[in-house]
Structure 1
Amino acid sequence: MTTATDSPPGFSGRQRLILLLLLGSGFLFAADYSLLNVALPKVGSGVGLGLTGLPWIGAAYTLPAAGFMLMFGRLADLYGRRRLFLYGMILLAGASLLGGFATNPEMLLTARVLQGTSTSMALPAALSLITTTFAEGGLRDRALGLNGAILSGGFTAGALVGGILVSLLSWRAGFFVNVPFAIIILLVTPSLVTESKAPDRVRIDLPGAVTVTGGLLALVYAVVQKNIITAVVGVVLLAAFWVIEGRSSAPLAPVHVLRRPTVRWGNFAGLVTFSMETGMIFLMTLYLQDVLKFAPVITGLIFGVPGLAAVFAGPIAGRILGRFDGRKVITVALSLQALMILPLAFLGSDRLVLAVLIPALFLGFFVHVIVIVSYTVIGTSGLPNEEQGLATGLASLTQQVALTVGAPVMVSIAATQSSSLTGTHLAIGVNVAVILVSAAAIWFGLRPRTERTGPAAQTPGPAAKGNAEELAASLD
């Protein structure tokens, strides 16, 4: 067990190479998500896609990325994590070539759908390869800390690199840049990463796969298009999925895993932190350009510089989780995220507010990454290797859904006010309230089920030492 006085063992040479490979693929997918955001008008004009069709460049990626995530995460457990990872990289390379050579909207949107599908295949497979390569405890916490830093850094770098590529070359370079990296990963992976899967071949739970995929696709589509009927269909399909999994002899997602407090509350924390942070960033992007009248390039730099906090936060988060109780870390970090966002609810129309905005963003991004690492550690702890693909699929699914719903919800709240500034203030206030209420709920949700009283309660137990594995065990 890693305690406050023990130093966790270091990574071996082979583990470092595996981590470099898997983190590199994670960075590639994270950057790919935001790479084209800065070039949407040019992409649209390049293939003849009108203004009303531009949102579908993002939606075509998000829908399959979220909808297929859970299914592919579980398939990685059953049929091979390395195999799904490699299939995802092959699909990414092919989709990127198709997008780079696109001459009409149909080719472009098909490429984005395939890119989103490749993400749903490779991302949970890569994350489960990390959690199965590194045993639960200090090394895994450090590896997941680095993973959190890479993912957050990838989102930031994607926007910056996208702007540079579009300015110097063309929007098509935003697609082509993926190809050489995908090929390198494909060449290196077979000799470095061993295959891992369920010892016995298990038949696929087709009804479960169909209902969960259809339900997730319907819900994400409902958010993108604000379609209530589709949302109802999504809820009905997910309810059917729950019933099917409870009765299936070989469920896609065993109900006992979905009922685990660590899985449930860990992913709830991920949903809150990603959706509220994404919503805040979108609101501040509009604020900087509509209220303070900054150019898009300056806006990107204002977010890019504080985004460097993610680079430092990931490794630190892994060490913090090795020393302190994961329940305390995640609730304190969420509360600090809310406190860093709170000053933004009082910003005015003077550019001097940058003296408040930039430090708040820097510190906010820092604790946001700590929450990301914490929810990933908690949500995947205490589970055997044969269920890690499911757990990491859930964690990746949470991220994709949250990235989709955050901005629309915050914008809808802001739109209830007569002016952009007052609308921003209201939405930021709601953002802070949601985070704080959620942090309290997570604190109580993750509490050990058997509370001790009397003198024995004064003796620090294993959970107080901060091991995520012991936290999970105390909750089962």
Structure 2
Amino acid sequence: MTRHPRTGPPDSPPATSGGMTGRERWILAVLLTASFTLAVDFSILNVALPLIGRDVGFALPDLQWIATSFALAAAGFTLLFGRIADLFGRRRLFLGGIALLGVSSLAGGIAGSPPVLLAARVGQGLATAAVVPAALSLLTTSFREGPARDRALGLNGALMAAGFTTGAILGGVLADLLSWRWAFFVNVVVAAAVLLVAPAVLREPPRAGRPRLDVPGAVTVTAGLLALVYGLTLAGERSWTDPAALVWLAAAAVLLAAFVRIERRAGAPLVPVRILRRPAVGIGNLAGLLAFATETSLVFLLTLYLQKVLGYSALVAGLSFAVLGAGTVLGGLLGPRVVGRLGGAGAICAGLVVQAAATAPLIFLGPGSSWMPVLLAVTFVGGVANLTAIVGFMVTATSGLPDGEQGLATGLATMSQQIGITLGIPVMSAIVAARIGSPGGGEAVAEVLSGISTAITANTALCLAAALLVALALRPARRTGVSAGATT
């Protein structure tokens, strides 16, 4: 078992207990502002979709493409852009992505037809695919492995979690008080501010030699991820037996298998196979995928419960998740301390076990509103635990790698996040639908509640399975200078 030395930028000052330097605070402010803004973009338009459809001319069945076009671009290109950041410059890609975010958001804000709006959403998705791994790799290379990097990753996780919740609330406020178009225009202002400050703050050493991009690998992995996300989306909207969904998922399997074959033979692979063989990278990303899948799908299940069983309005249901949002923010702040005591793998295990313990009581939810205090309390605890696990995942999946591979590492982590978010809801939705669609079943409250209970049971089991996998594969240990799990 080999421990990797700490990595960091050549001019990084030694880590001290006195806190961050002034420049490090500016770096953190710029990168976290960008990450928070992109997290907001995931959910800011959801509440306003009916208004957008009316104003721009979308038919009701086509509204989902406003979200799907964004998700396809964001998930499909994130691994490619993560590697491009390593090869051609993280700072350059970050600034280019922020500029694209500003331009595409301006186009979305003034859009008068569906094609223009969808093109704008694709542009925002591409900007997300470029900026998120670039920002994360700039963050991990600006702070040495250890408490400073863990704290930065924890703050990043807390603000991204807050961004998802803020987006849902801000979207409703802007739509009611101003116009849904301001959900786009806000990004223009933020992008301009970041582009004004970032060039003076972000630094990166020049690259030696002429980089080579693995074009066949880039084409197959991007096409494979696009097919995977689109297939999962179709499965969630229709069913897991839908022929079109199965065709796309099969195409994804073929393309991704071809990608692995190409990478094994490539002289300069997009994703070196040796990196994927590292337990901290492979198992860490799988655990991160499951952490995102379980929590986002739980929100979907509880939304069904609050609206279909308890009969609450969409607004009340949305506000109920503010407690979960507060828990995730706290988890992002506490996560680095847990990593400091238990290591990255230990934080994943502890977070997922506590998340499972907090989710388990929801299996017994009943049809009365008396369950609301229990729901709010356990979702708060689950939110803290989930973000603790996610911070542990980010630390584990990016530790022990040289600076030249941090873009790839953060690209893989971002891809795991995107696939987890996309995968969780269709799987849990299928479990609920299977119960409702069983012989004698219907959409009566009892059948819906039974389906939700079964899906929450599966959700709890997935948390425990992921924790067990990490415990067996990475052997969590107390931290001794580097993150546990950063081994070969």
Q: Which bin holds the TM-score, normalised by the shorter protein?
A: over 0.9
Q: Kindly tell me: are residues 383 and 345 of structure 1, through their superposed partners in 2, closer, same or farther at Cα, counting changes over 3 Å?
A: same
Instruction: Look up the match of 2:118.
Output: 109
Between the aligned partners of 2:349 and 2:16, the Cα distance in structure 1 is 25
Q: Does 1:174 align with 2:192?
A: no
Q: Kindly tell me: are residues 146 and 197 of structure 1, through their superposed partners in 2, closer, same or farther at Cα, counting changes over 3 Å?
A: farther
Instruction: Look up the match of 1:131.
Output: 140
AA partner of residue 122 (structure 2): V
Q: What's the CA shift for 1:205?
A: 0.6
Instruction: Look up the match of 2:418.
Output: 400
Q: What's the CA shift for 1:466?
A: 5.0
Q: Deviations over 1:31-86 (max 9, x none)?
A: 01110111111111221111111111111000010010000000000100010001
Aligned with 2:293 (options 261, 268, 275): 275
Contact between 1:61 and 1:112, CA under 8 Å: does it hold in 2?
yes
Between the aligned partners of 2:479 and 2:272, the Cα distance in structure 1 is 30
Between the aligned partners of 1:196 and 1:148, the Cα distance in structure 2 is 26
Between the aligned partners of 1:171 and 1:325, the Cα distance in structure 2 is 43
Contact between 2:290 and 2:463, CA under 8 Å: does it hold in 1?
yes
Between the aligned partners of 1:54 and 1:107, the Cα distance in structure 2 is 14
Q: Does 1:264 align with 2:282?
A: yes
| Identical amino acids, percent of aligned pairs | 49
AA partner of residue 464 (structure 1): R
Q: Kindly tell me: are residues 247 and 465 of structure 1, through their superposed partners in 2, closer, same or farther at Cα, counting changes over 3 Å?
A: same
Q: Does 1:292 align with 2:301?
A: no
Instruction: Look up the match of 2:327.
Output: 309
Contact between 2:100 and 2:127, CA under 8 Å: does it hold in 1?
yes
Contact between 2:478 and 2:484, CA under 8 Å: does it hold in 1?
no
Instruction: Look up the match of 1:33.
Output: 42
Q: What's the CA shift for 1:323?
A: 2.2
Contact between 2:344 and 2:484, CA under 8 Å: does it hold in 1?
no
Between the aligned partners of 2:207 and 2:155, the Cα distance in structure 1 is 27
TM-score (normalised: structure 2): 0.91
Greater alpha carbon shift after TM alignment, 61-70 vs 224-233: 224-233
Between the aligned partners of 2:324 and 2:78, the Cα distance in structure 1 is 30
Instruction: Look up the match of 1:460.
Output: none
Q: Deviations over 1:128-163 (max 9, x none)?
A: 000000011110011101111011111011111111
Between the aligned partners of 1:198 and 1:390, the Cα distance in structure 2 is 16
Aligned with 1:150 (options 151, 159, 175): 159
Instruction: Look up the match of 1:140.
Output: 149
Instruction: List runs of 5+ in structure 1 lacking aligned partners.
Output: 449-462
Contact between 2:343 and 2:484, CA under 8 Å: does it hold in 1?
no
Q: What's the CA shift for 1:469?
A: 3.9
Q: Does 1:225 align with 2:234?
A: yes
Between the aligned partners of 1:315 and 1:96, the Cα distance in structure 2 is 30
Aligned with 1:95 (options 63, 81, 104): 104
RMSD of aligned C-alpha atoms?
Answer: 1.6
Q: What's the CA shift for 1:197?
A: 6.2
Instruction: Look up the match of 1:444.
Output: 472
AA partner of residue 342 (structure 1): A
Between the aligned partners of 1:58 and 1:258, the Cα distance in structure 2 is 30
Between the aligned partners of 1:353 and 1:413, the Cα distance in structure 2 is 22
Between the aligned partners of 2:262 and 2:172, the Cα distance in structure 1 is 46
AA partner of residue 56 (structure 1): W
Q: Does 1:464 align with 2:474?
A: no
Aligned with 2:20 (options 11, 15, 38): 11
Between the aligned partners of 1:71 and 1:19, the Cα distance in structure 2 is 24
Contact between 1:89 and 1:186, CA under 8 Å: does it hold in 2?
yes
Between the aligned partners of 1:209 and 1:444, the Cα distance in structure 2 is 33
Between the aligned partners of 1:382 and 1:225, the Cα distance in structure 2 is 38
Q: Classify the secondary structure of the residue corresponding to 1:464.
A: coil
Instruction: Look up the match of 1:249.
Output: 267
Q: What's the CA shift for 1:278?
A: 0.6
How many corresponding residue pairs?
457
Q: Does 1:428 align with 2:446?
A: no
Instruction: Look up the match of 2:200.
Output: 191
AA partner of residue 284 (structure 2): G
Q: Kindly tell me: are residues 7 and 91 of structure 1, through their superposed partners in 2, closer, same or farther at Cα, counting changes over 3 Å?
A: closer
Q: Kindly tell me: are residues 393 and 39 of structure 1, through their superposed partners in 2, closer, same or farther at Cα, counting changes over 3 Å?
A: same
Q: Kindly tell me: are residues 442 and 471 of structure 1, through their superposed partners in 2, closer, same or farther at Cα, counting changes over 3 Å?
A: closer
Instruction: Look up the match of 1:119.
Output: 128
Q: Deviations over 1:198-240 (max 9, x none)?
A: 4322111100000000000001010011211111111111111
AA partner of residue 162 (structure 1): G
Q: Classify the secondary structure of the residue corresponding to 1:443.
A: helix
Contact between 2:345 and 2:393, CA under 8 Å: does it hold in 1?
no
Q: Classify the secondary structure of the residue corresponding to 2:268.
A: coil
Between the aligned partners of 2:102 and 2:378, the Cα distance in structure 1 is 38
Q: What's the CA shift for 1:258?
A: 1.3
AA partner of residue 432 (structure 1): T
Q: Deviations over 1:357-401 (max 9, x none)?
A: 000111111111101110000000000000000000011111111
Instruction: Look up the match of 2:225.
Output: 216
Aligned with 2:351 (options 321, 333, 344): 333
Between the aligned partners of 1:19 and 1:398, the Cα distance in structure 2 is 23
AA partner of residue 349 (structure 1): P
